[in-house]
A = this chain, B = another copy of it.
């Protein structure tokens, strides 16, 4: 009864005097087992210290009970927290979580997705997506459901905030404070689609107030350039950044120039990362509802996974962002 190694379902079957299938039924909980045998099997199981082998189970089911999470940069707390939430929810649904860090590199994204496909994951959550069509195609060909979380994607199930509404909220806040010369700060760190949408919202809101939108790339936001931007009669008095990281960087750069925030210039972010909450940073920001992002995302994914064959068109969920006012914004200085 005791082979040198890890006990299998057969050992359990022998010890309890039933067949493999019966043991399997007990394990899976398929109702067709009498109480008597069930408990005999259960006894055998822990007498042996038997542990089911998911590898074998997954092979026959042709699908690993795991979901792949593709993330651009785990060192970015915003994403790290999303991954954490995802892992917790996935575990509740008995799925393990395989993480893949792409560093925003397309080749790596391709390679990682390929690995996930080889591992036959049940679904993939992309917390950052290059937008590359071939990646989507591969996934679809392999019939592995995907959900894109936190950035907008028409071609797949997706849950993200309403980017336009987010920048609009920032503008309204700044405008309400009295600012009129406001610039949008953006950069390559934001996915293309997201960047466009956020800028669109900014522009719209500004136009709504009869103001002209100005755009600054974070790479150009260095010392002297910044100084030129914010001083003088037509100088910018407030920035609405496309994300928190850039906003914080901007604050750094401004203060290195001796320009105080918010006394001289106001800065608003977008994301709601922890860093911004610290009292010394106190970043006013438009926060993304992280839990919702994850909950709805996993919901879409699980739904798609349960569907035998989900040829349904992509579903999109747009979540509302929320303004968090902290200390980095204030009324403009009297001219």
A275: which B residues are within 8 A, CB to CB? 275, 278
The answer to whether B101 and A99 have CB atoms under 8 Å apart is no
Please encode chain A, from 83 to 126, with 1 for each CB lying within 8 Å of some chain B CB and 0 for all others.
Answer: 11001100100001111110000000000101111111000000
CB-contacts of A245-275 with B (<8 A): 248, 251-252, 255-256, 274-275
Please encode chain A, from 117 to 150, with 1 for each CB lying within 8 Å of some chain B CB and 0 for all others.
Answer: 1111000000000000000000001100000000
The answer to whether A252 and B274 have CB atoms under 8 Å apart is no
The answer to whether B74 and A120 have CB atoms under 8 Å apart is no
CB-contacts of A202-227 with B (<8 A): none
A39 CB within 8 Å of chain B: no
A84: which B residues are within 8 A, CB to CB? 73-75, 101
Residues of A in contact with B, size category = 35 or more
In the bound complex, what is the Cα–Cα distance between A323 and B73 (angstroms)? 26
A115: which B residues are within 8 A, CB to CB? 91, 96
- Which of B83, B96, B278 sits near A98, CB closer than 8 Å? B96
The closest CB in chain B to the CB of A283 belongs to B280
In the bound complex, what is the Cα–Cα distance between A96 and B281 (angstroms)? 37
Name the segment of A14-22, A49-57, A158-166, A183-191 touching the other chain.
A49-57
Work out how many copies of this chain go into the complex: 2
A66: which B residues are within 8 A, CB to CB? 98, 119
Given the known inter-chain contacts A112-B91, A275-B278, A278-B248, please indicate yes or no for A119 contacting B142, CB distance below 8 A: no
A255: which B residues are within 8 A, CB to CB? 279-280
Minimum CB–CB distance from A187 to chain B (whole Å) comes to 18
A240 CB within 8 Å of chain B: no
In the bound complex, what is the Cα–Cα distance between A84 and B96 (angstroms)? 17
6 inter-chain pairs at a CB distance below 8 angstroms, sorted by A residue, are A54-B119, A87-B100, A97-B98, A98-B99, A251-B280, A252-B278
8 interchain residue pairs of minimum CB distance:
A74-B84, A80-B80, A55-B59, A280-B280, A75-B81, A54-B118, A87-B101, A54-B119
